[in-house]
Amino acid sequence: MNDQTLRHDWRIDEIEQMLNLPFNDLLFRAQSIHRDNFDPNSVQVSSLISIKTGSCSEDCGYCSQSAKHGTDLEKEKLLPVEDVVKAAQAAKDKGSTRFCMGAAWRNPTDANLQHVKEMIVAVHDLGMETCVTLGMLTSKQATELKEAGLDYYNHNLDTSPEFYGNVVTTRTYEDRLKTLSHVREQGISVCSGGILGMGESRRDRASMLRELSNMSKHPESVPVNMLVQVEGTPLYGTAALDPFEFIRTIATARILMPKSHVRLSAGRGEMSDEMQALCFLAGANSMFYGDRLLTTDNSETSKDVELFERLGISFQSSEELQATQAACKNKGEKALASAT
């Protein structure tokens, strides 16, 4: 495979074989592909805020915001637009180029969506990319978000279709794919990945990566989360995932989706500096920045700056991000032209 080849027909056995490669061979292959498509020493940085916390009607086994779980999470109403703008400006001042807003809804009402659209416009006016995660969407709602100027919509697959029922029962895998289809049809960039360490097998991780990499267009952003165990949730007490297994998944995602930003997301606060460094070597080139991710702790920003300095990694500026996206688009168009 070279940097001109984008496949959408991966078989689960192929991906599982990739995950089974000797660790050094897997990382070498991933880093080689990464260097063909990105600056290996530049990382895109996003920040995430919870704009509406708690009381979600879903039963996602990992989530502290579910009304069905006995967590001590304090419920909050939808934040005022001015509070969101203030948080976005603070994130931009610290180096973030994208501001992500998450709401604990099964799906937004039309009234709630109107408030979110106002947030999108206001954050965009700061010169930042915008991303929201609001649960399931109708086609009409996706159209409205596009018209508001939304850049990214996050809707994770969470895990494989085979393991999904062990994690969530209140919405189907097909529901998730349908929302992503509505988003893609409107030309909104897709942010979709999964969570590792929920008790799934390596084959489940291969199956999840197959679902993502076989989409008609690869997600522009692929967040890879490590389960953050919250007391009171059904997955609390699950055996911890081997860090090398997490890094293997990052490397495989990079090989399968060479032009996507692969993001270190939840769980990073519990990762050692050495583990994060290996993730960057494996092809991760995006991360969530800030002391808080929705309702769970994240690595402190000062610690991240120190780690980047030690590794010689720089924050990707808005201009660099746009240039990278344009270059990837041009490469893809040339590859398509040569193939036809």
Q: Which of 29, 98, 131, 184 is catalytic?
A: 131
Dihedral sign (CA 167, 102, 68, 136): negative
263 is catalytic: yes
Catalytic residue among 60, 248, 279, 328: 60
- The C-alpha angle with vertex 217 and arms to 45 and 42, in degrees rounded to 5, equals 25
Task: Report d(CA 321, CA 317) in Å as an integer.
Answer: 6
Rounded CA-CA distance 100/120 in Å is: 10
Please confirm, yes or no, whether 203 is among the known catalytic residues.
no
Q: Is 202 a catalytic residue?
A: no
Query: Read out DSSP for 255-315?
Result: HHSTTSEEEE-TTGGGS-HHHHHHHHHTT--EEE-SSEETTEE---HHHHHHHHHHHT-EE
Q: Which of 205, 263, 279, 328 is catalytic?
A: 263
Q: Is the dihedral of CA 243, 17, 155, 82 positive or negative?
A: positive
List the catalytic residue out of 29, 98, 100, 184: 100
What CA–CA distance (Å, rounded) separates 256 from 12?
12
> Considering 29, 171, 191, 248, which one is annotated as catalytic?
191
Q: Is 328 noted as a catalytic residue in this protein?
A: no
Establish whether 63 is a catalytic residue: yes
Active site residues: 56, 60, 63, 100, 131, 191, 263
